Amino acid sequence: MDTIVSGMRPTGRLHLGHLHGALKNWLRLQENYRCYFFVADWHALTTDYASPQGIKPSTSEMVMDWLSVGLDPHRSTIFRQSQVKEHAELHLFFSMITPVPWLERNPTYKDQLKELVEKDLSTYGFLGYPVLQAADITIYKANKVPVGVDQAPHVELTREIVRRFNQIYRPIFPEPEVLLTEAQKVPGLDGRKMSKSYNNAVFLSDTPQEIDQKLSRMMTDPARVRRTDPGEPEKCPAFQLHKIYCTPEEIAEVSTGCRTAGIGCLDCKKVMIKHVIEDLAPFREQRARYEKDPEQVEAVLTTGNAIAHEKAAETMVEVREAVGL
């Protein structure tokens, strides 16, 4: 059976973008693979080292969402990176053999340096972000890594590091492959990418009222200024959600309605909002149970940490032996 490893930085409550981007994919994968899913809390520290207070609470919120959506701790190993110290040791071994120019060339690194100007990211740890990620992946001897396109360069770097390690010492790691996540595009309320920091997200844990309020004022085709102006669904961010949630008949009907100005935007959105609320109902029920008993989430992590640790420790015996220490 192939092994899958994937992680998420702890961002707190998850939104529809996470659900359709990564989580639905994880749910499918856990049926057919040995899966390790973890909270990349050390990775969060690379950008938030100066204000780390949010990391721990965000971890609990995020794992609560994972479990409520159906990640199953009996199938998948769910754990916290910082609780499996072997990741740090393997990261150190990898850092010895990784040429700095490989890291400086990394497109994500260059983008983030430009984007996060308010933070001082001229640190050793931030440059080494993909080296730690390589350790996360290889310590479980993963064959496949499900990530979005933005993370593909990191998995590519992992392969290069693995090749170099296997060549210099002894071949102990498989070269992991990217399993590109076919992410369904979920625009945020303002039409930009859905993101907590843009304040345009619908959270999985929002109440039906909140979902209704948020989606009712979601951006539509800007050409429809008046009710009598015809619109074009493909230019409407809200319609992206229709495409995910509505039946083919409903989609056809609102499309025609939009193009002929036969339907108003609010009525059009109502058709979709109903589905979003219904679709999240089982999630809300499950989450309410965990909220009453947060210890359960901690217990899942404690068990997962132990299982991950066992495998990671096994790999490290081999690594130390291969390097000759």
Applying CB under 6 A, does 136 fall inside the site for ligand TRP? yes
Distance CA 90, CA 139 (A): 7
Count residues binding ligand TRP (CB under 6 A).
13
Residue 254 interaction partner, one of ligand SF4, ligand TRP, none, beta carbon < 5-8 Å per kind: ligand SF4
Applying CB under 6 A, does 133 fall inside the site for ligand TRP? yes
Residue 21 interaction partner, one of ligand SF4, ligand TRP, none, beta carbon < 5-8 Å per kind: none
CB atoms near residue 1 (< 10 Å): 7
- Judge contact between 201 and 215, C-beta under 8 A: no
Q: What is the distance, to the nearest Å, from the Cα of residue 223 to the centroid of all Cα atoms in its chain?
A: 33
Distance CA 36, CA 171 (A): 22
CB atoms near residue 17 (< 10 Å): 22
Which CB atom, from 258 or from 277, has the smaller least distance to ligand SF4?
Answer: 258
Residue 231 interaction partner, one of ligand TRP, ligand SF4, none, beta carbon < 5-8 Å per kind: ligand SF4
Residue 236 interaction partner, one of ligand SF4, ligand TRP, none, beta carbon < 5-8 Å per kind: ligand SF4
Query: Residue from 62, 147, 162, 297 that binds ligand TRP (CB under 6 A)?
Result: 147
**Minimum distance between the CB of residue 136 and ligand TRP, rounded to whole angstroms?**
4
Residues in the chain: 325
Q: How many CA atoms lie within 13 A of 197 on its CB side?
A: 3
| Ramachandran sector of residue 199 (left: φ over 0; alpha: ψ -120 to 50; beta: rest) | left
**Minimum distance between the CB of residue 37 and ligand SF4, rounded to whole angstroms?**
35
AA letter at 267: D
Residue 233 interaction partner, one of ligand TRP, ligand SF4, none, beta carbon < 5-8 Å per kind: ligand SF4
Which CB atom, from 254 or from 319, has the smaller least distance to ligand SF4?
Answer: 254
**Minimum distance between the CB of residue 230 and ligand SF4, rounded to whole angstroms?**
9
Applying CB under 6 A, does 151 fall inside the site for ligand TRP? yes
Tokens of 103: 């890291």
Query: Residue from 4, 9, 78, 272 that binds ligand TRP (CB under 6 A)?
Result: 9
Which residue's C-beta sits nearest to ligand TRP?
7
Q: Which residues bind ligand SF4 (CB under 6 A)?
A: 220-221, 224, 231, 233, 236, 238-239, 254, 258, 263, 265, 268-269
Distance CA 318, CA 325 (A): 10
Which CB atom, from 151 or from 240, has the smaller least distance to ligand TRP?
Answer: 151
Determine the 3-state secondary structure of 270 from DSSP.
Answer: helix
Applying CB under 6 A, does 58 fall inside the site for ligand TRP? no
**Minimum distance between the CB of residue 132 and ligand TRP, rounded to whole angstroms?**
7
Distance CA 238, CA 124 (A): 42
User: At CB < 8 A and 24+ separation, what contacts does 220-228 make?
Assistant: 220/265, 220/269, 221/258, 224/258, 224/261, 224/265, 227/261, 227/264, 228/261
Q: Which residues bind ligand TRP (CB under 6 A)?
A: 5-9, 40, 43, 133, 136-137, 145, 147, 151
